[in-house]
Amino acid sequence: MAIYTCTTQEGMLSAEQRTVIAQEITRIHTAHTEDRPYMVWVIFETLPPNRIYAAGKPAVKALIVGLFREDRSTEAREQVLKELWAMFKKVTGLADDQLWVSLTEIPASDAMMLGAILPEPGHDAEWLATLGQPL
């Protein structure tokens, strides 16, 4: 139950890199949560040159912004951040000053998936069973 948006400039990522990044984001997220792989969505947005600025000047930057249900431990969030950072740098070759990674938590009651309001943390199995989804 997560959406990760990766924003880069046009031409920064090949189709192969996008596939690797999507697979790795899914692996990292599910390793630190109860979520199943099909609950992790990865969206790639590309911007034309001169659409990302730093210090008032055009810059080559990339962002990963994750949005998911609240109630993850501080340790889990920190581990996800660190693993996303390392993975994206490895795949893209970007320097530390070219990357932003952040996570935003929302209450379960503020999102829907599979046609239903998300369950409160700890109630995923019951929720999935009522929807006829695999555990």
Domain count of the fold of the chain: 1
Instruction: Tell me the C-alpha to C-alpha distance, in Å, between residue 69 and each of 35, 93, 98, 109.
Output: 10, 30, 27, 9
Residue 60: φ, ψ to 5°:
-95, 110
- Token representation of residue 104: 């935003």
Interval 65-100: pLDDT, tens: 999 989 889 999 999 999 999 999 999 999 999 999
- Angle at alpha carbon of residue 33, lines to 31 and 37, rounded to 5°: 65
Q: Which two tokens stand for residue 127?
A: 């929720």
Q: What is the pLDDT of residues 3-48, one digit of tens each?
A: 999 999 999 999 999 999 999 999 999 999 888 899 899 999 999 9
- What range does the domain containing 54 cover? 2-131
Q: What is the CATH number of the domain that holds 17?
A: 3.30.429.10
Long-range contacts of 79-84 (CB under 8 A, 24+ apart): 79/32, 80/28, 80/29, 80/32, 83/28, 84/25, 84/28
Helix (H) / strand (E) element for 64: namely: strand 62-69
pTM of the full predicted structure?
A: 0.90
Cα distance between residue 7 and residue 43, in whole Å: 8
In the block, which residue shows the tokens 């998300």? 118
